[in-house]
Amino acid sequence: MEWQQNQFDWNHARAFMIVADEGSLSAAGRVMGVSQPTLGRQISLFEAKLNLVLFERVGRGLELTQAGLRLYEHVKQMSYAADQFSLVALGQSNDLQGTVGLSLSQLDAFFKFPELWPKFQEIAPKIRIDLDVNNQISDLKRRQSDIAIRYKRPEEADLIIKKLGEERVFLYGHKNYVASFEDKQPHEINNLRILGFDQTDQLKDYFASFGMTIKEEQIVFLTHSQLVQWQLLKQGNALALLPDHIAARDPNLVPAFSSLCTPMSFDIWLVCHGELHTNPRVRLVFDFLVDHFMASSAN
C-alpha cells in the first residue's frame, strides 16, 4: 500500500458517522463536545477531500445522500474495529493502577455506592473510579464505561454479565396521603397526583395489568431525575415509583394500592465487555461489586 497517498482523516470520518447517527450538527456537536461551526467545517473538509456531497438538509435536520449512505456502512465497520482494538489493548494491561469507568443509575450512585467507596479504597488505593451517573444505558463497546449496573438483561453476546439480585419497585407516598385513598381505585381519586418519567406508558400498563386505569391528568410531574422525585415524594402530596430498600429509609413512606396490586420486580445485572474483563483492574472492580452488591441484596 502507498501509505503516503493514504491521507484519510479518521477524525473527520468519525464526525461524519456521528452526524449521520444524530441527524443534525447541533446534536452531534453535543455528543462530541465541539461547537456546531467547528463540526460543520470538519464535514465540509471531509466532503471536499472525497469530492462528494454526503448530506442534504431536510427541515432542520440532515439526511445522508446516496453516496453518504454507501460510505456510512464502511465507517461504522471502521468504528467497530477501532472499538475492538481499544478493548483488546486494554484487556492486555497488567497494570493495577489507573482508571476504571463505572456507570450507575442515580439511585444506586446516591444510596448504594458511597458506603462501598471506603471499602474499595482499602483494597485498591491506586485505582481511580470514573463514575458516570446516568439512568440511560451506557455503550460499553464504545468505552462510555468499563462496567455498568443495568436493570434489564443485556442481549449482546460479547458481554460478561452477572446477576446481582432483584429489586422490587412500588408506588410510594406519605402515609397520611396514602391513607386518604382507603381502598379506592386510581380513577376514583380526585386528588391523585403521580410523579412520572417522560414515558408514562409504563405506569398505565402497570395498572392495566391489574384491571385498573389512571388518567393522563393524574400524572402531574415528569422528570428523569429519580432524586428529584424522591425529594418531591417526601413533601407528602404525590406518589412516585421507588425501590423498597430506599422507601424503607423513611418510616413516613408507605406503598399505595398495596391491597390491589403487587410490586414490579427487576433483575439487577452487572455488565462489562469480555475483553475488558481480562484487565486486572477492571476485573478487580467487577468482582468487588459482585461481592458487595450481592451481600447488600441478601440483607
Domains of the chain: 3-91 (1.10.10.10), 98-162+267-298 (3.40.190.10), 168-266 (3.40.190.10)
69-90 exposure pattern, b = at least 16 Cβ within 10 A, e = fewer: eebbeebeeebeeebeeebeeb
pLDDT at 39 over 50: yes
How much is the average pLDDT of 67-81?
86
- Distance, CA of 11 to CA of 46 (rounded, Å): 10
pLDDT digits (tens, 9 = 90+) for 94-112: 667 888 989 898 999 999 8
CA 16, CA 78: separation in Å to the nearest integer? 12
DSSP 8-state class, residue 48: H
CA–chain centroid gap for 55, Å, is 30
Q: How far apart are CA 126 and CA 97, in angstroms?
A: 5
What span, in angstroms and rounded, lies between the C-alpha atoms of 267 and 244? 14
Query: Does the pLDDT value for residue 157 go beyond 80?
Result: no
Whole-angstrom distance, CA of residue 118 vs CA of residue 201: 40
Distances (CA, A) of 120 to 115, 126, 147: 9, 10, 15
The pLDDT of 100-125, averaged and rounded, is 89
Question: What pLDDT does residue 65 have?
Answer: 92
Can you read off the three cell numbers belonging to residue 19?
Answer: 452526524
Backbone angles phi, psi at 138, to 5 degrees: -80, 150
- From 3, 2, 53, select the one nearest 16 (Cα to Cα): 53
| pLDDT band with cut points at 50, 70 and 90 for residue 1 | very low
Binning the chain into helix, strand and coil, the percentages to the nearest 5 are: 45, 20, 30
If one counts every other C-beta atom within 10 angstroms of the C-beta of residue 188, the result is 11
d(CA 299, CA 294): 9
6 band by pLDDT with thresholds 50, 70 and 90 = low
Confidence band for 244, pLDDT divided at 50, 70 and 90: very high
Q: What is the pTM of this model?
A: 0.65
> How far is residue 167's CA from residue 86's CA, in Å, rounded to a whole number?
34
**Mean per-residue pLDDT, 161-184:** 88
pLDDT band at 172 (very low <50, low <70, confident <90, very high): very high
Helices (H), 92-167: 106-107, 113-123
Is the predicted pLDDT of residue 236 greater than 60, yes or no?
yes
User: Does the pLDDT at position 174 exceed 80?
Assistant: yes
- Give residue 3's pLDDT: 39
